[in-house]
Amino acid sequence: MPPALIALALGAFGIGTTEFVIAGLLPEVAGDFDVSIPSAGLLISGYALGVAVGAPLLTAAATRVPRKAVLLGLMVIFIAGNLLSALAPSYGVLMAGRIVSSLSHGAFFGVGSVVAAGLVPPERRASAIALMFTGLTAANVLGVPLGTFLGQQFGWRSTFWVVTALGVVAFAGIVALVPRQPADPDANLRRELAVFRRGQVWLALAMTALGFGGVFAAFTFIAPMMTDLAGFSDGAVTWLLVLFGAGLVAGNLVGGRLADRALMRSLYGILLALTAVLVLFTVTAHSQLGSIVTIALLGFAGFATVPPLQARMMQQAEGAPTLASAANIGAFNLGNAAGAWLAGLALDAGWGYTSPSWVGAALVATGLAVALLSGRLDRRAATATAQSPLTTT
């Protein structure tokens, strides 16, 4: 594999770390700025909303720009946002830094996938893209737990300083290792936008937002849930996040294989399993052993949804998938924002630290209902095509 993929993976590692690490630092941030835990949780929602907006807008704006220049520009935005977060004198400035850094997220993965695929022969493109995304999974296994540990030992700002430095290294790596790639001469924004006239594309976006939003409803408040209900120490949260990260890596791999075999049936089963895990978490959150098992299952089932949800969007946006794919990344993060916000409302209402899991289960169950509707429309369309006179003659 070309060394340029290492630079892309490092950028993905930094982006993944800054997205998820805040969940392990909510108590520290809340204490520093004298805000409630639910208010600190909105820092996750703000980031997610920034991705939801930035992914399609920046992807569309960069249609005619050389891809290496796009990647470098996105890393500059990422560095600036994390630097602002590290220096933030107030909660509002920290929120602004989170939103700025989030704008680079979706477009980086969208454009980076195209660049990675262009670096290798056609028969190795999937492996190249997978290597770039290894940075994202590594962020959850290594970056988030280590960033949480660093923030707990030396203050949450130290984590953002390290992430800023990662962005600088990734920028230098892209400059040195990624070859120049021209803009796509056949890029057509109007054609990309036309796929949003398809009803199934919107159902795919809804499935993504609801299905993955349930994961973040519970994950956002994992630190106070484990310390207040299960009785873990603050330091143990780091290792629980490692366990969650290991689960998501395995789930991502299994979800991809299942989606290749039977896309919609796999999606039904995974969403049903995720709903069950979140309901289970409302019981096991009071037990240390039960929490350990359920956190691993949450990571596994939560990220097993990612490959089939992304594949479903690519399937329904066939012919012009670039902008739709970026929009789906935005939908993942819109779900993250909604899940964190709704779970925060439940906490503010005094429903306790098991309520985020109930909120998550309700969101995923609704996503499963949307998936079943989408599959039914597929079958109806297939039946209509089979019965069409043009088909039978």
Q: Residue type at 34?
A: D
- Report whether CATH 3.40.50.300 matches the domain 188-383: no
CA distance 304 to 244: 13
How do the domains of the chain map onto residue ranges? 1-186, 188-383
Do 177 and 7 touch, CB atoms closer than 8 A?
Answer: yes
Residue 352 pLDDT exceeds 80 = yes
CA distance 40 to 23: 9
C-alpha distance from residue 43 to each of 13, 61, 95 (Å): 19, 26, 6
Closest CA to 198 of 377, 367, 34, 9: 377
The model's pTM: 0.77
Confidence grade of residue 368 (pLDDT, cut at 50, 70, 90): very high
List strand residue ranges (DSSP E) for 222-279, in order.
none
Residue 29 pLDDT exceeds 80 = yes
CA distance 209 to 232: 31
pLDDT at 139: 85
More confident residue, 102 or 190: 102
Instruction: Indicate the CATH number for domain 1-186.
Output: 1.20.1250.20
Residue 125 pLDDT exceeds 50 = yes
Average pLDDT over residues 134-156: 85
Residue 53 pLDDT exceeds 60 = yes
CA distance 271 to 359: 15
Q: Which contacts of 276-281 are long-range, i.e. CB under 8 A and separated by 24 or more positions?
A: 277/301, 278/214, 278/217, 278/218, 278/357, 278/358, 278/360, 278/361, 278/364, 279/357, 279/358, 279/361, 281/218, 281/354, 281/357
Question: 197-250 pLDDT, tens per residue?
Answer: 999 999 999 999 999 899 989 988 888 899 999 999 888 887 888 888 888 888
Confidence grade of residue 1 (pLDDT, cut at 50, 70, 90): low
Question: 258-309 pLDDT, tens per residue?
Answer: 877 888 999 999 999 999 999 999 999 999 999 999 999 999 999 888 888 8
C-alpha distance from residue 61 to each of 65, 74, 212, 384 (Å): 8, 12, 27, 39
What sign for the dihedral angle of Cα 214, 219, 221, 225? Answer: positive
- Domains 1-186 and 188-383 fall in the same CATH topology: yes
What are φ and ψ of residue 119, in 5° steps? -85, -10
